[in-house]
Amino acid sequence: MEFVATCPKGFERLLADELHALGAPQVRPLAGQVSFGGGLRDAYRVCLWSRLASRVLLVILRVDAHDADALYEGASAVAWEDHLAPGATFVVDAHGTNSRLRNTQFVALRTKDAIVDRVLSARGARPVVDTARPDLTVSVRLSGSHATLSIDLVGEPLFHRGYAGKRDARLSSLRPDYAAALLAHGGWDKLVRGEAPSLVALWPGQGSVLVEAAGVALDRAPGLLRSRWGFAGWAGHEADTWQALLDEADARASAGEKNPCSLLVHDTRSGALSACRQALRGAGIALEPEGYEGTVPSYHLAVADLSWVGETALATEAAALSELAAYAGGKLVVLSRDTAPDASLRSEAASVTEVIVGRDPATVRAYEPSDSVEPAPSVELPGGGSASVLVAASDQFARRLAKVAKLRAKWARREDVTCYRVYDADLPDYAVAIELYEGSETPGRWLQVSEYAAPRGVDPELARRRLLDVLTIAPRVLDVAPQDVSVRVRVRSRGGSQYADEGRASAREARRDRSSRRGSRVELPAGSHLVDEGGLTFEVNFDARHDCGIFLDHRETRSRIREMMKQTKGSKRFLNLFAYTGTATVYAADGGAKYTTTVDLSRPSLDWARRNMARNGFDGHEHEFVQADVLAWVSEQRHTRNRWDLIFCDVPTFSNSARMRKASFDVQRDHAELIIGVSRLLVRGGRAIFSCNLRGFKPDVEKLERAGVRLTDITDETIPEDFSRNRKIHHAYLVERLAPEA
């Protein structure tokens, strides 16, 4: 017979070695699969014992499949009545396409039609298709103009081991076959033949690598927990052969219970050790893993899963890489999305295997024991201690950050500021901005690290390693947990630069708090926090937004708006355009605004603005929130009697939202028209503040003057002390109307 064991990309050589060890003859690795020969006993043994295969297929026939008719004719030639027992249900599982058969569902349909017609002709009764729990699965795999028809002996994929418990969203979940691949790369199957093998599992999440390691050590077949097999509904199934293999596996498992094995876990995520223990119990394994922190224990093999970090958790990756450095020189296997482990371990991997994790490329990197590995560079931290880094020069960044953080903290205490920028590309090679946020009603400290785009001449890999070092050092210097660090990478865009949200450093458990201020109770959304500024309370969120909810560079601008509102006479009406989360509206209301209008195109931002207002006691009907395209709304309001005493307009650099009436908004191109429109919404003697963050912005003063609008540059007066290194963070202008509209 001919069989095929399928597997993930990169597993082919490992799977071939495993099949050889299981005694399968005629083993031949192919792309995404390994073929082998032998009888049903050989195939059944692979089903029961393989940790790396996804499916085991019995090849029935290869047929012409250059089009749908050829596929139908070829599939009709198979005596399906000899494979499908009377009354048994079936389903067709199709993979691959070609130039004439471009849809796998259609491939499955034509194959199904051929099977039904063949069985109907032979028996006079139509077989039943069951897509949920079929008795038999027929596999059809297209390769070019041919198709391979097979019987799936497995049913559910083999990596569905049966021991997975309730998934914890806070923890990573490594698929069992990937866990087994890491162990195979490390030669765990050979190590367990020695005395009392010990495994260190780094960040094992929900424990699949521990279950697979224990299974190998205790000689337990991974298929013993399965209650349903694809071959059970196949007419050619040999029940006696299968039972004999089960009995043999049970005997080996009983004998293997006496084998010594030590499992050690390093994973500081909440609930990780408990989840690992539950996974082992779910697999019927009595071994108890031990957690540890600090000093690295002695071990035979260390396995690290870093596939769950990367672009969406850079700060956590940095912390993990710093800890990984302690294992340099030992036998280690790492599943990673990049080459950073090489830099952390100061060693090139002895072998690198390319794999796919989810939909993303990754590598399995194996490091052999060595006494000659260069120690990882480390930096001394203020207050004692050190941290391993990827770039030796990062010690300069650590010293600089510690110095400016001390000075900035002293300034913040003096000015009663709790959210401020600590570092702003003070060293050109470490071009990041670091902002610190301190909680108000509940304790907490959070960092937001924003990377500036590196010059074209800088090696991207070096820039990334410097960023990872920043994310290792900054939390330690500023006393913030790595999971409370948010990272944003700045990318070039039309009209300047914008931030692309890299997500949270790590998912935090959702909290639903309720806060009360000035008698108002407002629900705090999951993942959000409260901070204070200028005696007011604001909601920030580092999880789901491109920006956290408050622009710190406008701290002085907001304070100025409050003072201007206090001095305003008459109707005391305030308008906030492109309002985002409404922080300026809160300041205006605190300054005595009797009526406020907050306008933004984003409904979530307006809801956020409502919460900010209500949390500070401003929740009456005199405060309105308008979801609208600001440019169109301003134009419409010019034709009404609505006018305001004070207007704040903080415009985006560029916008092309599908909900805008115009095709796009470009601040340099369109600012004059907007400012003129805003000036027409002011009462006599009213004033507006116009702001933008395009570094090279040049106002069209002549056009504005012709329209009777005076622009006064107040930028220097609105740049806070903590942004003094980057005085082009924004431009701000006082807008006044000098003449009535023509």
Judged by phi (left if over 0) then psi (alpha if -120 to 50, else beta), residue 249 lies in: alpha
Residue 519 pLDDT > 60: no
| CATH code given to domain 378-504 | 3.30.750.80
The per-residue pLDDT for 381 is 86
Least confident of 314-328, 441-455, 655-669, 697-711: 655-669
At residue 370, does pLDDT exceed 90?
no
Give the E-state strand segments of 368-456 in sequence order. Answer: 378-380, 386-388, 419-424, 432-438, 445-451
What Cα–Cα distance (Å) separates residue 569 from each residue in 79, 561, 564?
93, 14, 10
**Does the pLDDT value for residue 297 go beyond 80?**
yes
CATH 3.30.2130.30 residue ranges in the chain?
3-152
Residue found under tokens 């539950």: 278
Torsion of CA 265, 270, 274, 279, to 10 degrees: -80
Q: Give the residue range(s) of CATH 3.30.750.80 domains in the chain.
A: 378-504
Cα–Cα distance for residue pair 451/577, rounded to 1 Å: 28
Instruction: Answer whether residue 516 shows pLDDT above 60.
Output: no
**pLDDT surpasses 70 at 651:** yes
Let me know the angle formed at the C-alpha of 141 by 136 and 142, rounded to the nearest 5 degrees. Answer: 150
Residue 481 confidence (pLDDT) above 70: yes
- Partnered with residue 5 across adjacent β-strands are 34, 56
Q: Name the least confident of 93-97, 156-160, 585-589, 724-728.
A: 724-728
pLDDT at 505: 34
Residue 630 CA, distance from chain mean position:
33
pLDDT at 294 over 90: no
Does the structural domain 3-152 have CATH classification 3.30.2130.30? yes
Query: Residue 75 above 70 pLDDT?
Result: yes
Q: Region 245-253: what's the mean pLDDT? A: 97
Q: What value does the mean pLDDT of the chain take?
A: 90
Per-residue exposure over 653-689, b if at least 16 CB sit within 10 Å of its own CB, e if not: bbbeeeeeeeeebbbbebbbebbbbbbbbbeeebbbb
Using pLDDT thresholds of 50, 70 and 90, give the confidence band for residue 238.
very high
The CA-CA-CA angle for residues 123, 129, 134, to 5°, reads 110
* Residue-level pLDDT at 657: 65
Between 319 and 664, the more confident residue is 319
551-737: which CATH architecture? 3-Layer(aba) Sandwich (3.40)
The pLDDT score that the predictor gives to residue 502 is 35
pLDDT of residue 658: 59
pLDDT at res. 544: 55
Q: Where in the chain is the domain with CATH 3.40.50.150?
A: 176-218+259-367, 551-737
For the segment 327-351, the average pLDDT, to the nearest whole number, is: 92
Q: What is the pLDDT of residue 496?
A: 34
Decide: 54 and 157 in contact? Cβ < 8 Å: yes
Q: Which CA distances in Å does 358 have to 288, 308, 489?
A: 30, 10, 23
Q: How far is CA 712 from CA 102, 121, 471, 674, in A?
A: 64, 90, 40, 16
Contact predicate 480/318, CB 8 Å: no
Q: What is residue 629's predicted lDDT score, i.e. its pLDDT?
A: 92
Residue 342 confidence (pLDDT) above 50: yes
Give the number of other Cβ atoms within 10 Å of residue 127's Cβ: 23
**Dihedral of CA 200/201/207/210: which sign?**
negative
Confidence of residue 166 (pLDDT cuts 50, 70, 90): confident
CA angle centred on 250, ends 247 and 254, rounded to 5°: 140
- 176-218+259-367 falls under which CATH superfamily? Vaccinia Virus protein VP39 (3.40.50.150)
Q: What is the pLDDT of residues 601-644, one digit of tens each?
A: 999 999 999 999 999 999 999 999 999 999 999 999 999 999 99
Residue with tokens 């195109």: 601
